[in-house]
Amino acid sequence: MTRKILVATTNRGKIAELRALLEGDIRWLGLSDFKQIPEIEEDGQTFTQNARKKALGYAKACGLWTIADDSGLVIDALGGEPGVRSARFSEAVRNVSDSSTAAQRIIGKTKPADKSLIDLQNIQKVLKLMEGVPVEKRTARFVCCICLASPEKVLIETEGVFEGLIAEKAAGENGFGYDPIFFVPNLNKTVAELTSEEKNAISHRGSAIRKFKPLLDQLLS
């Protein structure tokens, strides 16, 4: 029997990615398929807590197995920040035009005043906080936690970690978020300078999904 699994996102690209990577006799659904489900607040202190809360909360709300994830950047010199606040590290923008101009100077290109602008502002804040920090203390990692839950309990949890350094300036046009300032020493490139295939082969999300797949296959068999 085909198993319905909800992916706790409205991002169709993320759903398509999971469908391709996890395969199986599964009908994948997204939050946009359930208009009346209230949003689950991500107020946990760790990535694991946030992924677990979303998976259990949405599973109970819709009565289906649910996959949720939480991920972000952890910088040692900043005491683990931005951590679970990675997506909102720069906080709200009061003057979009002024902030946009300042943020655009970080990577030398123009972005629309939306999620891309928030990414630029987050990058700007990290680079400012890291000014003067020597290279040996610029260690950081991306972390991704994935949780699958039924309405009653957690079924699977996996974690992927991607180690690197915070660059002194942004470089690269690919990726999103903090990719332009996350430097991979053995490749001598930032993540934003990698192709999608190169990134997926070593990324925190790719690692978490590769650990997740055999556990899901076992659960479904």
pLDDT tens figures, 8-65: 988 787 788 788 778 778 999 999 998 888 899 889 999 999 999 999 999 999 999 9
Residue 214 · residue 193 · CB < 8 Å:
no
Backbone angles phi, psi at 149, to 5 degrees: -135, 150
List Cβ neighbours of 155 (8 Å cut-off, separation of 6 or more). 65, 148, 149, 219
Question: What is residue 98's predicted lDDT score, i.e. its pLDDT?
Answer: 45
Question: What is residue 183's predicted lDDT score, i.e. its pLDDT?
Answer: 98
According to DSSP, the β-strands at 154-166 and 182-184 are: antiparallel
Question: What is residue 46's predicted lDDT score, i.e. its pLDDT?
Answer: 96
**What is the radius of gyration, based on Cα positions, of the chain?**
18
**Distance of alpha carbon 219 from its chain centroid, rounded?**
25
- The per-residue pLDDT of the chain, averaged, comes to 88
Q: Considering only CA atoms, which of 126, 200, 17 is closest in space to residue 118?
A: 126
Q: Is the predicted pLDDT of residue 140 greater than 80, yes or no?
A: yes
Split at pLDDT 50, 70, 90, the class of 196 is confident
Q: Considering only CA atoms, which of 130, 124, 123, 129 is closest in space to residue 177?
A: 123
Backbone CA torsion sign across 86, 192, 116, 168: positive
- Give the residue numbers annotated as catalytic, written as ranges: 70
Residue 5 · residue 26 · CB < 8 Å:
yes
Split at pLDDT 50, 70, 90, the class of 114 is low
Q: Which structure tokens are listed for 149? A: 């839950």
Q: With 0-12 CB in 10 A as exposed, 13-18 as middle and 19+ as buried, what is 91?
A: exposed
Q: Which structure tokens are listed for 141? A: 């990692």
Question: What is residue 11's predicted lDDT score, i.e. its pLDDT?
Answer: 79
For 158-177, b/e burial (b = at least 16 CB within 10 A) is: bbbebebbbbeebbbeebeb
- Domains of the chain from N-terminus onward: 3-220 (3.90.950.10)
pLDDT more than 90, % of the chain: 67
Q: Is the predicted pLDDT of residue 220 greater than 70, yes or no?
A: yes
Q: Which structure tokens are listed for 165? A: 């350094």
**Distance of alpha carbon 98 from its chain centroid, rounded?**
27
Q: Is the predicted pLDDT of residue 105 greater than 50, yes or no?
A: no
pLDDT more than 70, % of the chain: 89
